[in-house]
Amino acid sequence: MAKSPEYEHPIKAYGYAARDTSGVLSPFTFSRRYALCDLIFGSLLNMSTGDKDVRLKVLYCGICHSDLHFAKNEWRMSTYPILPGHEIVGVVTEVGSKVEKFKVGDTVGVGCLVGTCGSCECCANDLESYCPKQILTYGFLYHDGTLTYGGYSDHMVADEHFVLRWPENLPLDSGAPLLCAGITTYSPLRHFGLDKPGMKVGVVGLGGLGHVAVKFAKAFGAEVTVLSTSSAKKQEALQGLKADHFIVSKDPEQMQRATSSLDGIIDTVSASHPIEPLLSVLKQDGKLVFLGVPEKPVEISAYSLMMGRKIVTGSATGGLKETQEMLDFAAKHGVTADIELIPIDYVNTAMDRVLKSDVRYRFVIDVANTLKAP
């Protein structure tokens, strides 16, 4: 008979989890594996892999829109209970006997991944986020056959390969969303060559991903244009985020004036939206990079791509090496997310507000100060 989550592992843990497709999160008692596993413990407890594990006390955890998708099983891949959270910042409390990179007291982060196959071409090239056998931070089966649980919890355990060193001058709370929103926008800017001073970069959508994309593009020295369906975000884009230009994408005249003006576009919108107008503002060899996941397939004219040799592509998060690079870059250039800090018991209200895009621009849970075990 399978053990309940509370008894799968030796160390008791506490957090907030969803039990069904309602997505409602409530207090949840479960368990984590040992981090300190010498041969004796490994033999007695059948946990010999724990010698590379790092245990951390969770301080802050960001709320990503994908947390809501998983909690409600909107992507048809959830296994309940779902305990979300993959933008985790904490302090190391234990390390396994073979851990080399971290020590007790270090401030660290854990992002979207806690495991991969470690042997495929993607893993060999520091592209763990594209490993076909990747193990997400929550809702996936770990190597030992137990379900992974995320950062809406009092502590976390992860193999040291998937733990990031936290830069000393990077804020813990407003830095937490960089572990997903940050790397998801930083990676395509770097990979597709949009990270050079003077590049003309467009950002579609000014939400959790979009506002960070603007900040990274500006930090790279790009000339940034925000494209939005509404003029309501113009002031925030130009004055708050220091974008250089703002275009209402539904305005044909504004779009016409911007024809063939951008080297690349980072499209962060998950709602269905027209793509052809965006292609028109790309230069020759311009790149449109999808980060959002619209429910309906996008429609693109082959002619629009041929006339200008334009590229439509997509990007997921980055590998661990690139994520560390991103954190260090963010610390150096003062890039953080704009956040609203909340207590854990506000999480269901926060999820409702995420659904309504009623946050500027990311919720972060103050886990350490508001999550109290029974």
Give pLDDT, residue 2: 65
Give pLDDT, residue 38: 41
Q: How many other β-carbons are positioned within 10 Å of the β-carbon of residue 146?
A: 17
Quick check: 225 and 247 in contact, CB under 8 A? Answer: yes
> Rounded to an integer, what distance in angstroms lies between the CA atom of residue 30 and that of residue 21?
20
pTM for the complete prediction? 0.94
DSSP 3-state assignment of 333?
Answer: helix
Max CA separation in the chain (angstroms): 72
> Rounded to an integer, what distance in angstroms lies between the CA atom of residue 57 and that of residue 230?
41
Going residue by residue through the chain, which has 374 residues, state the pLDDT in tens, using 9 for 90 and above: 567 888 788 899 999 999 999 999 999 999 999 876 443 344 444 443 489 999 999 999 999 999 999 999 999 999 999 999 999 999 999 999 999 999 999 999 999 999 999 999 999 999 999 999 999 999 999 999 999 999 999 999 999 999 999 999 999 999 999 999 999 999 999 999 999 999 999 999 999 999 999 999 999 999 999 999 989 999 999 999 999 999 999 999 999 999 999 999 999 998 889 999 999 999 999 999 999 988 888 889 999 999 999 999 999 999 999 999 999 999 999 999 999 999 999 999 999 999 999 999 999 999 999 999 88
Give pLDDT, residue 36: 60
Domain residue spans of the chain: 11-180+336-370, 181-314
Domain 181-314 has CATH 3.40.50.720: yes
Give pLDDT, residue 48: 39
Domain 11-180+336-370, CATH: 3.90.180.10
> Rounded to an integer, what distance in angstroms lies between the CA atom of residue 29 and that of residue 37?
23
Give pLDDT, residue 73: 96
44-60 burial code (b ≥16 CB/10 A, e <16): eeebebbbbbbbbebbb
Give pLDDT, residue 34: 81
Give pLDDT, residue 39: 37
> Rounded to an integer, what distance in angstroms lies between the CA atom of residue 202 and that of residue 226?
6
